[in-house]
């Protein structure tokens, strides 16, 4: 008799397919590596298919495995939506709201106001992710997302609420020792901090490359928070959001003409627009950011 498939095994399959590693998938799912192996093997046995090849560079989906990924993601999306929808009460003001924020906007602008929001809405629970990497809106990873680039497609409502200004900043200590660059060409005699190769697709990384050669970077980091701390400690010069850099007492250089302006967009999943708790959380995000952004 064929083994019955456990739909939950699809989570383990997708985690391995995305991470290309049992151990990485185990960390993401907060389980042991042996559990991940066992659940993927159970799915293979139930489907009577080989889903992965174990190669020297990790667990790589077979051709059949690759074909299964989009189908599994569609099922995952629906299960997440059902689970999330069921978490609310009849009046819609109780339950979980997931919010995805760009790094530093979350830490510096939203989190300081979170206590007030939760006190005013005691039945709403928030799950906030803050990262330099934009979330994948198509996978329902959040109900509300704040983005610095306007999405070209998707099933959500969006509005622009202001701009983030990014400029080159350095510490007073660094500038007193190394001098003050006046024009972009002056940066060749300074230590410039930028992004690692896997993050070159970010809009601020691409903009930095237009101003300063990528191969001359003195230091590469994977987050704005790390760049902010490095500059604050005199490591060099980096492109940082003004709202965070100036709060740390950093000094803008290269004049006002060398700056990047990014529109801030607030997005809500289309089928969540009428959800009361999502609407309350969205209004909080919009009001909080509108008051602090240019």
Using alpha carbons, list the distances in angstroms from residue 152 to 99, 147, 149, 266.
20, 12, 9, 14
- Reported as a single tens digit per residue, the pLDDT across 196-252 is 988 888 889 999 998 888 889 999 999 999 999 999 999 999 999 999 999 999 999
Residue 157: per-residue pLDDT:
84
- Backbone angles phi and psi of 55, in degrees to 5: -110, 175
- Reported as a single tens digit per residue, the pLDDT across 133-181 is 776 655 566 788 898 888 776 667 888 999 999 999 999 999 999 999 9
Residue partners of 254: CB distance under 8 A and separation at least 6: 167, 168, 181, 182, 183, 184, 186, 187
Residue 1: per-residue pLDDT:
44
User: pTM score > 0.85 for this model?
Assistant: no
C-beta separation of 211 from 184 below 8 A: yes
- Reported as a single tens digit per residue, the pLDDT across 79-119 is 665 555 555 545 567 788 888 898 889 889 999 999 999 99
- Reported as a single tens digit per residue, the pLDDT across 269-283 is 776 666 788 889 999
Query: Mapping DSSP to helix (H, G, I), strand (E, B) and coil, where does residue 264 land?
Result: strand
Percent of the chain with pLDDT over 70: 88
Residue pointed to by tokens 């994948």: 136
Cα–Cα distance measured from residue 2 to residue 48, given in angstroms and rounded to the nearest whole number: 9
Confidence at 130, pLDDT banded by 50, 70, 90: confident
Cα–Cα distance measured from residue 86 to residue 96, given in angstroms and rounded to the nearest whole number: 10
Which two tokens mark 48?
């009577």
C-beta separation of 15 from 55 below 8 A: no
Residue pointed to by tokens 């992965």: 52
C-beta separation of 154 from 137 below 8 A: yes
- CA torsion through residues 174, 178, 182, 186, sign: negative
- Is pLDDT at 65 greater than 50 in this prediction? yes
Mean pLDDT value of segment 189-196: 94
* DSSP structure string for 187-241: GGGS-BEEE-GGGTTSHHHHHHHHHS-GGG-SEEES-HHHHHHHHHTTS-BEEEE
- Supply the Cα-derived Rg of the chain in whole angstroms: 23
């Amino acid at each position: 008799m064929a083994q019955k498939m456990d739909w939950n095994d699809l989570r383990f399959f997708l985690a391995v397919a995305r991470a290309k590693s049992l151990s990485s998938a185990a960390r993401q799912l907060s389980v042991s590596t042996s559990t991940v192996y066992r659940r993927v093997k159970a799915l293979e046995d139930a489907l009577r298919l080989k889903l992965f090849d174990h190669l020297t560079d990790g667990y790589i989906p077979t051709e059949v495995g690759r074909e299964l990924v989009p189908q599994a993601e569609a099922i995952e999306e629906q299960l997440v939506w059902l689970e999330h929808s069921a978490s609310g009460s009849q009046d819609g003001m109780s339950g979980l709201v997931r919010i995805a924020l760009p790094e530093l906007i979350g830490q510096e602008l939203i989190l300081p106001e979170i206590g007030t929001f939760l006190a005013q809405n005691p039945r709403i629970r928030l799950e906030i992710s803050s990262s330099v990497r934009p979330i994948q809106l198509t996978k329902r990873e959040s109900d509300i997302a704040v983005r610095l680039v306007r999405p070209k497609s998707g099933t959500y409502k969006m509005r622009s609420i202001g701009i983030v200004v990014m400029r080159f900043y350095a510490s007073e200590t660094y500038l007193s020792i190394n001098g003050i660059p006046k024009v972009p060409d002056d940066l060749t005699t300074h230590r410039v901090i930028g992004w690692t190769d896997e993050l070159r697709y970010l809009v601020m990384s691409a903009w930095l490359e237009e101003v300063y050669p990528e191969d001359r970077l003195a230091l590469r980091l994977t987050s704005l928070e790390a760049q902010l701390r490095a500059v604050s400690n005199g490591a060099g010069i980096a492109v940082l959001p003004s709202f965070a850099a100036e709060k740390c007492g950093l000094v803008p250089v290269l004049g006002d003409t060398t700056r990047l302006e990014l529109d801030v967009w607030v997005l809500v999943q289309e089928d969540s627009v009428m959800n009361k708790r999502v609407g309350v959380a969205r209004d909080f995000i919009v009001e909080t950011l509108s008051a602090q952004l240019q």
